[in-house]
């Protein structure tokens, strides 16, 4: 046999042997799935709800117009610090000043009338006393005259004169008493006039005072909505008055954020939070939740859901207020902010990566259990595709629930589906309260493998870091 024939036969034999080896390897790895794994361990888990909103002062006051007239002076500008009582703005006060001054003069006149009435009253009282004294003297003279007349010691004319004098004195007393009552009534009338004049002056003086606007609280002038020379009007019925400016007390600062309806159930008063402000990059501020809204707010319109006249399934938010512990100087109302609220925290919790969780239907697992039993009895194929029926004896498991949550645990080279119960959720990990123990090796990827992996499938572990995809750059 020639050499080239021998070489050809050797090549053919090598090719046949290589094909047999390749076929064997291919068949052996036919049902093997390459996966990434991780060990179950203990982690410090923190559940955070993130929401966006804006910086708002806890206390602020909107200054609205209370009188009518043009603005004559604006004594502050935005950003100024003011104290309670400081003058902010003035409007024209010529007419209100004249009205108040005229009424003050009217008060002086009515008070003079009151003093005159009181003097008249005192004089009437003195006259009444004099009349009473004259009456008493006339009565004595009349009584004596009656005795003398009976004894015939005085003539009839003298008797009549004494009687007439007595009757006249009695009438004088009645007249003096009537003048006293009249003078007393004049006093009351004058007093009411004084009170009425003072009330009118109080009203006119209030109108005058409303031409000068003062700061109702300590704070900063955060907004001015008018200019000098503009006319302002007060509110009428359901219409608010002209909006002049806002005074904000920035000593207590809050971040008012809108929390999604799916997260609000976990937010409670007193929970800790960290706040960042877009205008202050790199800085983080601590705070606490001090208010949790009970009314849903429509995300599109900002109206409360009870204000909507039509049914809507759109997303809703709830207002949550976080009060900052130590707000820095320079914060202004309306600055965009983001709050991260810690709704749950647990140290040394048994945790797994969130992506390791998988869901399989009860029917899939029951079918897999049947195939596993058949395979063990020798009636199935040579390849095992399913594991035993998962444990559903936990009191937390709903026997009627179709979907079962669990993870794939690597045991003896196979991915065994184990049902788990979960607790709080961190950023990338989630707590496992039952079903696993520390050190268990679970399947964490790839996503495609976890999505299609069947219980009790043979797996090959490859935890090498994937090489970054190279890109060719052209200039």
Interatomic CA distance for residues 179 and 135, integer angstroms? 17
What are the backbone angles phi and psi of residue 453, rounded to the nearest 5°? -65, 135
The Cβ of residue 135 has, within 10 Å, a number of other Cβ atoms equal to 21
pLDDT at position 383, please? Answer: 40
Q: What is the Cβ-side half-sphere exposure of residue 337, based on CA atoms within 13 angstroms?
A: 35
Edge-to-edge strand ranges of the sheet holding 69-74: 212-214, 87-91, 69-74, 231-232
The Cβ of residue 343 has, within 10 Å, a number of other Cβ atoms equal to 20
**Residue the block writes with tokens 């390791």:** 356
Per-residue pLDDT of the chain (475 residues; tens, 9 = 90+): 556 566 566 667 666 565 554 444 444 445 688 889 999 999 999 999 999 999 999 899 999 998 889 999 999 999 899 999 999 999 999 999 999 999 999 999 998 988 998 999 899 899 889 989 988 888 888 888 888 888 888 888 888 888 898 888 888 889 988 998 998 899 999 999 999 999 999 999 999 999 999 999 999 999 999 999 999 998 877 777 889 999 999 889 999 999 999 999 999 999 999 999 999 999 999 999 999 998 888 887 777 766 665 556 778 899 999 999 988 888 889 999 999 999 999 999 999 999 999 988 888 777 777 776 776 665 444 443 334 444 444 444 455 567 889 999 999 888 889 999 999 988 899 999 999 999 999 999 888 888 888 888 888 888 887 655 444 444 3
Instruction: Name the 3-class secondary structure at 323.
Output: strand
Q: Which two tokens stand for residue 283?
A: 């800085």
> What is the DSSP secondary structure assignment for residue 304, as one 8-state letter?
B
**Residue the block writes with tokens 């009330």:** 199
Interatomic CA distance for residues 419 and 390, integer angstroms? 7
Pairing of strands 336-353, 41-64: antiparallel
Beta-bridge partner residues of 407: 418
- In 3D, which of 299, 302, 294, 286 has the Cα closest to residue 260? 299
Q: Indicate the Cα dihedral angle 269, 271, 274, 275, nearest 10°.
A: -10
Q: Which two tokens stand for residue 396?
A: 């937390």
> What is the DSSP secondary structure assignment for residue 355, as one 8-state letter?
G
- In 3D, which of 451, 439, 447, 445 has the Cα closest to residue 465? 445
Interatomic CA distance for residues 288 and 255, integer angstroms? 10
């Amino acid at each position: 046999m020639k050499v080239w024939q021998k070489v050809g036969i050797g090549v053919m034999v090598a090719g046949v042997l290589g094909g047999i080896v390749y076929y064997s390897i291919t068949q052996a790895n036919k049902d093997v799935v390459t996966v990434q794994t991780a060990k179950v361990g203990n982690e410090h888990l923190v559940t955070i709800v993130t929401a966006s909103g804006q910086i708002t002062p806890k206390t602020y006051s909107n200054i609205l117009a209370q009188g009518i007239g043009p603005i004559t002076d604006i004594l502050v500008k935005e950003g100024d610090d003011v104290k309670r009582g400081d003058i902010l703005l003035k409007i024209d006060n010529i007419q209100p000043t004249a009205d108040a001054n005229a009424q003050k003069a009217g008060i002086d006149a009515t008070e003079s009338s009151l003093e005159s009435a009181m003097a008249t009253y005192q004089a009437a009282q003195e006259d009444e006393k004099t009349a009473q004294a004259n009456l008493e003297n006339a009565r004595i003279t009349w009584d004596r005259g009656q005795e003398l007349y009976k004894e015939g010691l005085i003539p009839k004319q003298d008797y009549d004169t004494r009687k007439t004098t007595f009757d006249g004195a009695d009438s004088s007393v009645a007249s003096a008493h009537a003048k006293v009552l009249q003078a007393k009534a004049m006093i009351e009338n004058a007093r009411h006039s004084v009170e009425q004049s003072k009330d009118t002056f109080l009203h006119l003086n209030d109108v005058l005072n409303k031409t000068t606007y003062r700061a109702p609280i300590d704070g900063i002038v955060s907004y001015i909505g008018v200019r000098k020379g503009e006319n302002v009007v007060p509110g009428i019925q359901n219409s608010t008055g002209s909006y002049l400016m806002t005074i904000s007390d920035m000593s207590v600062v809050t971040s008012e954020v809108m929390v999604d309806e799916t997260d609000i159930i976990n937010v409670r008063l007193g929970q800790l939070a960290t706040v960042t402000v877009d205008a202050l990059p790199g800085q983080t501020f601590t705070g606490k939740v001090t208010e949790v809204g009970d009314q849903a707010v429509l995300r599109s319109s900002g109206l409360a859901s009870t204000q909507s006249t039509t049914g809507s399934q759109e997303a809703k938010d709830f207002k949550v207020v976080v009060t900052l512990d130590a707000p820095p100087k320079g914060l202004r109302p309306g600055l965009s902010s983001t709050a991260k609220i810690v709704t749950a925290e647990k140290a040394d919790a048994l945790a797994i990566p969130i992506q390791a969780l998988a869901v399989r239907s009860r029917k899939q697992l029951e079918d897999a259990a049947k195939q596993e039993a058949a395979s063990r009895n020798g009636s199935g194929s040579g390849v095992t595709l399913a594991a035993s029926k998962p444990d559903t004896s936990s009191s937390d498991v709903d026997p009627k629930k179709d979907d079962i949550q669990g993870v794939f645990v690597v045991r003896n080279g196979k991915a065994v589906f184990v049902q788990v119960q979960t607790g709080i959720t961190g950023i990338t990990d989630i707590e496992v309260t039952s079903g696993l123990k520390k050190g268990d090796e679970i399947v964490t990827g790839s996503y495609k493998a976890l999505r299609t992996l069947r219980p009790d499938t043979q797996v090959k572990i490859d935890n090498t870091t994937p090489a970054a995809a190279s890109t060719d750059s052209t200039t």
